[in-house]
């Protein structure tokens, strides 16, 4: 623990692993994926055959511990949710409350226009390496909830020396990622916070940690329970943009969903298939837990979508799995050559289902999109097999012109794919129970597509990042149909095969390999789709695919933003055009591009991870693994008009942390962010922390709320 009388000096620079990530991040986030062969060994055509000063800084250091905060992206935006008035698909009331609860899931088309001008007038903050959350002058922030705080009314306070699965199952989990804030009343006074809990850092959790074999079985169970998600009731502070956790009373909506014990229902064409059956679940329809949930979305009917990402690293015994399964296990990053791959948490010590030598199908039950109803604490979360299985960053839904819904998804791996799901059924409008019941079934059946691109200036791309002669990185594309309902469009694969092994199906149809497509979200104002392509330092290196128009730089360390315009503005269309509005990095580097804007006025940005939108359609970008040497942060830019490309940094997170879950409330008075893995630096531990944020003792992943001191709209 830290000595407050003689505080240790914190490191200003972190040791760098792959890209801008630290070795500890590489270990726990993705199981050292970059040290292993690229899972995609297909030969289909590849995706295309900091230190500038900013403005005034307000670290809010004098405000005390409560003034340190967080943010991370997801959901239809932040599908900017409404605080006031009934909306489509409203949730039913709990009988005990006497109040009508609304889902807040306003369809994107209703979000045009905003209370303010839409101009981003805040002064950008400069890059920094401070161990605090930094916001612009005129703003403040506060921690909403930390790892280990009670979620259930009978939940205990955090005691790092006595962590058990039972205790953690009642507390806020670790490494908060995707966030959503859903209204509970029409006055905008109360709301529900949803948070994913992606993964754990055992060194930063357990005092005296030496290795995973030395943990007690109950400590392993505590780590399992720290994965999953939380639902927490919030209340507004006065008439400000600040929110705080409700500490007293029944709190009937509060809930913990864990990898340890929560039951999930499988839906869709693959449910019940032989690929999903296990000894514990011979029907192949019930799963215990969700794993490595990264980003997500909020549906227009007010439920949460959460994406299971790097689930592969939780399984052992792949070397003894059936030979017939080894190719597909390897395609998903599961080691088939070692019993315990590097970074293994060895959860088989607490639950043998994570041993593929004994239960080879268990891995097939993870990697799905999960739907959770935060308004019904007794509901069973569902894993929707119709949406395909891969390393989901998240899923974000928009209502198409004909009333069906389209969900956009990225597979966060080097050289993997972009996907789209279109429902069979149309969304039912209104707040009735019948409408809600109908809408809860929309993601159970539909058509799954994968993207294939074509390029306008392929012959001009030399890997330097030089802009083509036509002044744009752009092209066209089409959505290739993989499966519709129970019908497969991939030769040699059944519908269940295609959905369970969507990556293999994408290989077979020649989908375009992309550079770590992460969050993919519709802009609720212009209807275009924006994807964060985080980075790919292997681009053009050795025998890896060369630069192309969609990935115009070799050894791409900084990533880019990818924009899709569906033909005729129809989100059910099978053709589209695309462009790169932003190619990230230091604006002084000629290999960067900011939609043609004057780069001397632009903030440096590296490794875009999540995107969100405000009511004016401005693009907000959260970063993960800044390779320019600064802490990660949240950025914003107009995406249309004369300010298009004028990117400005809005906040930075503490040392070693990632910016997650940016969520902007519809009244635009609050931005929530998840500060994930603060102090995640090689050789750091809870006993010798690299960060002491937010409380001055040891690092704790936390959710932060940011607001304007004058009560105005965020960003303007």
The DSSP-derived string for 474-533 is EEEEEEEEEEETTEE-STT--HHHHHHTHHHHHHHTTPPBEE-EEEEEE-TTT--EEEEE
pLDDT of amino acid 30? 58
pLDDT of amino acid 580? 98
Length of the chain (residues): 716
CA angle at residue 393 from 521 to 92, to 5 degrees? 70
279 sits in which H/E element: none
CA distance 38 to 701: 30
CA distance 408 to 240: 34
C-beta atoms surrounding 385 within 10 Å = 29
DSSP-assigned states of every residue in 618-661: -EEEEESS-TTSSPPEEEEEBSSSTTBT--EEEEE--TT-EEEE
CA distance 658 to 20: 11
pLDDT of amino acid 23? 72
pLDDT of amino acid 26? 60
Where does 87-184 have alpha helices with state H? Answer: 165-168
Strands 608-613 and 514-515: unpaired
Using DSSP, how many helices (H) and how many strands (E) does the chain show? 8, 33
pLDDT of amino acid 697? 98
Contact, 708 vs 139, CB < 8 A? yes
pLDDT of amino acid 37? 64
Phi, psi of 46 (to 5 degrees): -75, 170
pLDDT of amino acid 44? 64
Distances (CA, A) of 346 to 162, 220, 229, 307, 403: 20, 8, 21, 22, 46
43 sits in which H/E element: none
Q: How many CA atoms lie within 13 A of 78 on its CB side?
A: 34
pLDDT of amino acid 266? 99
Q: Split the chain (716 residues) into runs of 10 and give each run's mean pLDDT.
A: 32 46 65 62 49 37 33 30 34 34 33 56 97 98 98 98 98 98 96 98 98 97 98 98 97 98 98 98 98 98 98 98 98 97 94 98 98 98 98 97 98 95 97 96 98 97 96 98 98 98 98 95 97 93 90 95 98 98 98 98 98 97 97 98 97 98 95 98 97 98 98 94
Q: Which of 53, 76, 60, 132 is nearest to 633 (CA)?
A: 132
And the tokens for 304?
């949460």
pLDDT of amino acid 2? 32
Contact, 308 vs 211, CB < 8 A? no
């Amino acid at each position: 623990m830290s000595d407050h009388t003689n505080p240790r000096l914190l490191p200003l620079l972190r040791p760098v692993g792959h890209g801008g990530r630290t070795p500890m991040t590489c270990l726990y986030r993705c199981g050292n994926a970059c040290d292993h062969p690229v899972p995609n060994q297909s030969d289909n055509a590849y995706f295309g055959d900091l230190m500038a000063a900013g403005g005034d800084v307000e670290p809010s250091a004098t405000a005390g511990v409560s003034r340190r905060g967080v943010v991370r992206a997801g959901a239809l935006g932040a599908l900017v949710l409404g605080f006031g008035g009934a909306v489509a698909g409203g949730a039913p009331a709990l009988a005990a409350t006497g109040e009508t609860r609304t889902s807040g899931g306003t369809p994107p088309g209703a979000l045009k226009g905003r209370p303010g001008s839409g101009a981003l007038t805040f002064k950008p903050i400069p890059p920094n390496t401070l161990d605090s959350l930094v916001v612009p002058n005129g703003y403040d922030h506060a921690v909403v909830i930390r790892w280990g705080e009670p979620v259930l009314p009978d939940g205990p306070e955090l005691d790092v020396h006595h962590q058990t699965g039972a205790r953690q199952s009642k507390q806020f989990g670790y490494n908060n990622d995707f966030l959503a804030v859903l209204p509970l009343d029409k006055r905008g006074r109360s709301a529900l916070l949803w948070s994913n809990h992606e993964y754990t850092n055992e060194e930063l959790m357990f005092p005296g940690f030496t290795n995973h074999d030395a943990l007690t079985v109950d400590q392993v169970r505590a780590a399992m329970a720290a994965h999953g998600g939380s639902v927490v009731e919030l209340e507004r502070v006065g008439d400000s943009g600040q929110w705080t956790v409700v500490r007293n009373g029944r709190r009937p909506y509060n809930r913990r969903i864990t990898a340890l014990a929560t039951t999930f229902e499988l839906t869709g064409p693959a449910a019940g298939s032989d690929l999903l059956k296990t000894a514990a679940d011979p029907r192949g329809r019930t799963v215990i837990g969700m794993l490595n949930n990264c980003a997500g979305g909020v549906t227009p009917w007010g439920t949460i979508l959460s994406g299971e990402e790097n689930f592969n690293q939780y399984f052992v015994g792949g070397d003894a799995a059936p030979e017939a399964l080894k190719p597909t296990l390897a395609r998903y990053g599961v080691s088939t050559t070692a019993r315990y791959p590097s970074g293994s948490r060895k959860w088989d010590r607490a639950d043998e289902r994570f041993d593929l030598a004994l239960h080879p199908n268990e891995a097939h039950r993870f990697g799905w999109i999960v739907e959770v109803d935060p308004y019904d604490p007794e509901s069973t979360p569902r894993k929707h097999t119709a949406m395909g299985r891969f390393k989901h960053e998240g899923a974000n839904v928009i209502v198409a012109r004909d009333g069906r819904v389209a969900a956009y998804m990225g597979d966060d791996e080097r050289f993997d794919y972009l996907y789209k799901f279109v429902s069979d059924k149309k969304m039912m409008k209104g707040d009735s129970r019948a409408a809600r019941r109908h809408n809860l079934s929309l993601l159970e059946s539909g058509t799954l597509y994968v993207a294939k691109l074509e390029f306008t200036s392929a012959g001009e791309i030399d890997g330097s990042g030089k802009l083509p002669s036509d002044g744009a990185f752009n092209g066209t594309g089409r959505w290739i149909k993989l499966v519709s309902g129970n019908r497969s469009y991939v030769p040699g694969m059944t519908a269940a095969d295609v959905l369970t092994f969507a990556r293999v199906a994408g290989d077979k149809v020649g989908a375009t390999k992309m550079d770590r497509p992460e969050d993919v979200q519709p802009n609720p104002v212009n209807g275009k789709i924006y994807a964060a392509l985080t980075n790919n330092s292997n681009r053009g290196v050795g025998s890896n695919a060369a630069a192309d128009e969609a990935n115009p730089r070799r050894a791409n360390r900084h990533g880019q933003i990818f924009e899709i315009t569906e033909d005729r503005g129809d989100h059910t269309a099978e053709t589209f055009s695309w462009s790169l509005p932003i190619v990230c990095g230091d604006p002084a580097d000629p290999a960067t591009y900011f939609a043609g804007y004057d780069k001397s006025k632009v903030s440096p940005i590296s490794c875009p991870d999540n995107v969100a939108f405000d009511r004016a359609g401005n693009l907000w970008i959260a970063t993960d693994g800044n390779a320019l040497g600064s802490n990660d942060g949240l950025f914003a830019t107009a995406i249309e008009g004369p300010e298009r490309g004028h990117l400005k940094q809005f906040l930075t997170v503490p040392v070693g942390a990632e910016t997650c879950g940016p969520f902007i409330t519809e009244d635009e008075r609050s931005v929530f962010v998840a500060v994930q893995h603060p102090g995640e630096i090689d050789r750091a531990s809870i006993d010798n922390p690299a960060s002491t944020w937010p409380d001055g003792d040891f690092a704790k992943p936390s959710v932060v709320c940011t607001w304007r001191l004058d009560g105005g709209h965020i960003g303007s």
